[in-house]
Chain A
Amino acid sequence: MTLALILLSVLILGSAIVALSLRNLIHSALLLVACWAGIAAFYLWAGAEFVAFAQGLVYVGAISMVVLFAVLLTRQGTASEPLGFASWQRFILALVAGGGVAGILVGAVLGTPLTVTTPGPVPVLTVKQIGAQLMGPHVVALLVVGILLTVSLLGAVVLAAEENVKSPEDEV
Chain B
Amino acid sequence: MSPLQLCLLLSSLLFCVGLVAAMARSNAILVLLGVELMLNAANINFIAFWRYGPNPEAGTGVLFVLFSIAVAAAEAAVGLALVIAVYRHQKTIRLASINRLKG
Contact = CB atoms under 8 A, between A and B. Distances in A.
Given A48-B51, A119-B2, 7 more contacts: A5-B7, A42-B10, A55-B43, A59-B69, A63-B76, A102-B12, A152-B75
A160 B81 contact: yes
Nearest to B59: A125
A109 B5 contact: yes
Contacts of A87: 26
Interface in A70-106: 70-71, 73-74, 76, 86-87, 90-91, 93-95, 97-99, 101-102, 105-106
Contacts, number: 220
B34 A70 contact: no
A39 B20 contact: no
Ranked nearest first, the 9 interchain pairs of A and B with the lowest CB-CB distance are: A123-B56, A94-B23, A98-B20, A152-B74, A94-B24, A20-B21, A156-B81, A105-B12, A102-B16
Given A13-B13, A55-B69, A66 B77 contact: yes
Contacts of B23: 90, 93-94, 97-98
Interface residues of A, number: 82
Main SS class of interface, B = helix
Contact of A130 (B2, B62, B76): B62
